[in-house]
Structure 1
């Protein structure tokens, strides 16, 4: 049916077949996926509140997604992570935010 052996699996002695055009499937998925932007920044909470730091990180991630080509009306915050950094002065915390939206038409 047009299947081709998977060379990586064959190297391990495993029989495997990939469907026809499987190499194109990833490109199609990437082309149809959302456009994203993210930020990973250390904030000193002795200089600003946690809410101010989080708002800044969210706005930066949204701005990055729009700059990458996302429609501003569809961008949403996808993930938020924060990690207190006890080994740094100034009550520091690392905030990571990812935002994504549909491609701007």
Structure 2
């Protein structure tokens, strides 16, 4: 069984200054094998929630994850105002494209 952590679970810590690298180290230290990206912006009613299109700099986040040597699962959770199939598909396409470019 693989266990993991959603970045949203650590939202309060991230909001208070915990970096994505700190999140990765925390997951690794807790023997987690999965990180989930929740592309929540600062205001769910105003900003896009599609990974790569929202408030979060997904390119920088994915660079840090890749640089950390993390080799576990990476998943995407879509919780936006857009159509869920469109938002999920576009999020996946965006993250795949960014990972190929970095």
Q: What TM-score does the superposition give when structure 2 sets the normalisation length?
A: 0.24
Structure with higher Rg: it is 1
